[in-house]
Amino acid sequence: MPELPEVETIISDLRNEGLENQVILKAAVHWERSIAYPSASEFCSYLIDKKILSLSRRAKFLIFSLTSNLFLIVHLRMSGRFFLSKPRERDRHEHVEIFFKDGRVLYFHDTRKFGRFYLTSSPEDIFSNIGPEPLDPAFSFKEFSQRLLSTRRKLKSLLLDQNFLAGLGNIYVDEALWEAQIHPERINHSLTQEEQKALFLAIQTVLRQGIENGGTSLGKGKGNFKSLQNPGDNQHHLKVFKRAGGKCYRCRQKIIRIITASRGSHLCPYCQKFTS
DNA sequence: AGAGCTGTTACCAA
DNA sequence: TTTGGTAACAGCTC
């Protein structure tokens, strides 16, 4: 579900909706475990009268910077979504409501209930172990290359690891590995310099493309990604993800799906040959 | 109907 | 240290 491009799209849509500078009237929590910290009642009382100063993203977290040095941090996990509208009847999967003084309500919809809210004055605690931002201009090939030597793991598992690199999930890892023509089960430190460079560039390419296309909206379920009301368009631009059985756009061979690191991986066995 | 799957992550055991 | 299994949930797919 939401990976870096999807979260970036949501942040940008919330900005376009003018959520920055809005003041919170009150909040309501209908599934207490949606609030990771503090307690649901403290969460609600702390939010009253706080203003949203800015909206940003770190890894797959949404960050609402508030007055009084508070930060509302949200991770959507598998099925979290936001809706912003006039007050209306709450859907059974809308577990958190934030009411604004301009009359609108931000509804947090999460069918699988894995999404989490954190309200804290020390956001660095949440991000302390998260890896670098792949689209940060300060993130260099040199740093990526050095990090690739720091461990010994299958690339699929390593790239999914938020402590290694922030923001990638199953879709964009598979897309990046196809783009770079590297098998997901290759061990990180076995990559040639050329392969490292190709992967570094491919990660940025697929993430940028995902953002440009407003994220990837797969399937038709209510828990599938949409930013506010709007589906993304990147599902029409995927090269391998969910394309098992289809032809590789590069070599016309058949795309396959394998299980690696307990996750489905989609690849072209001809373009992405396994070599040790 | 029922079993198996899912775009995330934390935790535990080996 | 790394991997694999499981769990947190609900709904979709076959």
**A125-135 per-position pLDDT tens digit:** 999 999 999 99
To the nearest whole percent, how much of chain A has pLDDT over 70? Answer: 100
Where residue A1 falls among pLDDT bands split at 50, 70, 90? Answer: confident
The CA–C1' separation of A149 and C1, in angstroms, is: 14
Q: Nearest CA to the C1' of B9 belongs to which residue? A: A77
From the candidates A57, A60, A81, A156, give the one annotated as an active-site residue. Answer: A60
Residues 96-155 of chain A within 7 A of strand B, judged by CB, are 114
Instruction: List protein-proximal bases of chain C (any atom < 7 A from a CB).
Output: 1-6, 8-13
Would you state the pLDDT for residue A173?
Answer: 96
Percent of chain A scoring above 90 in pLDDT: 95
* C-alpha distances in Å from residue A267, one per residue of A145, A147, A181, A196, A254: 23, 24, 9, 18, 9
pTM of the model: 0.97
Catalytic residue among A2, A5, A134, A184: A2
State the pLDDT at residue A44: 98
* Confidence at residue A253, expressed as pLDDT on a 0 to 100 scale: 94
Catalytic residue check, A92? no
Residue A68: its pLDDT value, please?
98
- pLDDT level of residue A220 (50, 70, 90 thresholds): confident
Nucleotide nearest the Cα atom of A77 (by C1'):
B8
Find the nucleotide nearest A223 (Cα to C1′): C11
Question: What does the pLDDT average to over A207-224?
Answer: 92
Give per-residue pLDDT as tens, A52-62: 999 999 999 99
Banded model confidence at residue A262, pLDDT cuts 50, 70, 90:
confident
Residue A100: per-residue pLDDT: 98
Q: With residue A71 as reference, give the H or E element that holds it.
A: strand A70-75
Nearest residue to A50 (alpha-carbon basis) of A83, A21, A30: A21
Q: Tokens 């390419």 — which residue? A: A205
pLDDT digits (tens, 9 = 90+) for A133-174: 999 999 999 999 999 999 999 999 999 999 999 999 999 999
Tell whether the model's pLDDT for residue A81 goes beyond 80: yes
For A224-235, the pLDDT digits (tens) are: 999 998 999 999
Residue A26 parent element (H or E): strand A24-29
Quote the mean pLDDT of chain A.
96
For residues A203 and A176, the answer to whether their CB atoms sit within 8 Å is yes
Check residue A22 and give its pLDDT.
98
Residue A75, CA: closest nucleotide via C1'? B8
CA distance A9 to A166: 16
With bands split at pLDDT 50, 70 and 90, how would you rate the model's confidence at A96? very high
A197 is catalytic: no
Chain B nucleotides near the protein (CB, 7 A): 5-10
In the three-class reduction of DSSP (H, G, I as helix; E, B as strand; rest coil), residue A206 is classed as helix
Mean pLDDT, range A247-263, rounded to an integer: 92
A77 tagged catalytic = no
pLDDT of amino acid A101: 98
Write down the pLDDT at residue A62: 98
